[in-house]
Amino acid sequence: MIAKRRLRSDAAAALLFLAPSGIGFALFYLIPFAMAVYDSFINGAASNRFVGLENYRELLISGSFRKAASNTFYFTMISVPPMVGLSLGLALLMNRDLFARNGLRTAYVLPLVVPVASVVFVWQMLLDWNGSLNAWLGHLGIARVDWMKTDTARYAIAAVSLWKNIGYNMIIFLAGLQQIPKDYYETARMEGAGRFRQFRSITLVYVTPTMFLVVIMSIINSFKVFREAYLIAGDYPHDSIYMLQHYMNNMFMSMDIQKLTAAAALMAGCMLLLTLGLFALERRFRQFID
């Protein structure tokens, strides 16, 4: 009885501490999202008439929405794998006893604290037609590239996203690597296992949960890549970097709230399905390695 009372008091204390965050999350995220989903099923705020999936049907036959969705998914495909791979590689490097290791860690995290407008200004100077990158190419005898007016724009934005987020993912991987007991590596070395075998059989196995977390966060961030592209290229950028959030921003500017909320609900649904799929894949992988 005493143990049950203690558990109840601990649960009550935990709920009391979580209540402010829960109330704030409900007020600023859950309730507005529920209202947006409701708005996606009506034909307008004035008449408030339920139209079912009509807004979603109009959205799916819209060429601009399909372009934005395909560009967003393509951007996810080209940005997430190198993001995860390079973050893990840097974390493995920073996990060693290197010269100026603390300084390097700080350097990789600095892009997170620099204002986005300042970051974009630097990248504009690099990627402009008369920018630094084209000047370097000219010295090498290579023709200039209009980076933000051709299909190379998506790779430029991917590079900006990689540069900005790789440090944060590296810190997460580094935390996961430091949780692996050193005894495992010492035992593996005593048994004659090389570095590749240690990485495959120890590091990769124990860092898998962290890797799935980084993949999920990277996918979510790839869906939200808007500020950089918007500040560099404006409201209507090159077709290759016209993303879902560009489409929703344009719907907001034209006050087409129904299409805006329907697009937001579809994007949230896709992110939810991807997240659930990755969690299911992680559970199967854990069962496989156990």
| CATH code at position 161 | 1.10.3720.10
Helix (H) or strand (E) holding 189: helix 182-190
Examine residue 48 and state whether it is found in any structural domain, yes or no. Answer: no
Which residues fall within 8 angstroms of residue 222, CB to CB, at 6 or more apart?
Answer: 72, 75, 76, 79, 80, 161
d(CA 220, CA 61): 25
- Taking 70 as the threshold, does the pLDDT of residue 237 lie above it? yes
Three-state DSSP class for residue 42: strand
Q: What pLDDT does 3 receive?
A: 56
Whole-model pTM? 0.81
Three-state DSSP class for residue 178: coil
Domain total in the chain = 1
Examine residue 199 and state whether it is found in any structural domain, yes or no. Answer: yes
- Taking 80 as the threshold, does the pLDDT of residue 170 lie above it? yes
Q: What pLDDT does 2 receive?
A: 60
Higher pLDDT among residues 270 and 8, named by residue = 270
Question: Average pLDDT over the chain, rounded to whole?
Answer: 82
Examine residue 121 and state whether it is found in any structural domain, yes or no. Answer: yes
- For 104-125, letters b (16+ CB in 10 Å) and e give ebeebeebeeeeeeebbeebee
Examine residue 155 and state whether it is found in any structural domain, yes or no. Answer: yes
For 174, the domain range is 63-289
Chain centroid to CA 114: 18
Q: What percentage of residues in the chain have a pLDDT greater than 70?
A: 90
Three-state DSSP class for residue 25: helix
Examine residue 103 and state whether it is found in any structural domain, yes or no. Answer: yes
Average pLDDT over residues 205-209: 84
Examine residue 279 and state whether it is found in any structural domain, yes or no. Answer: yes
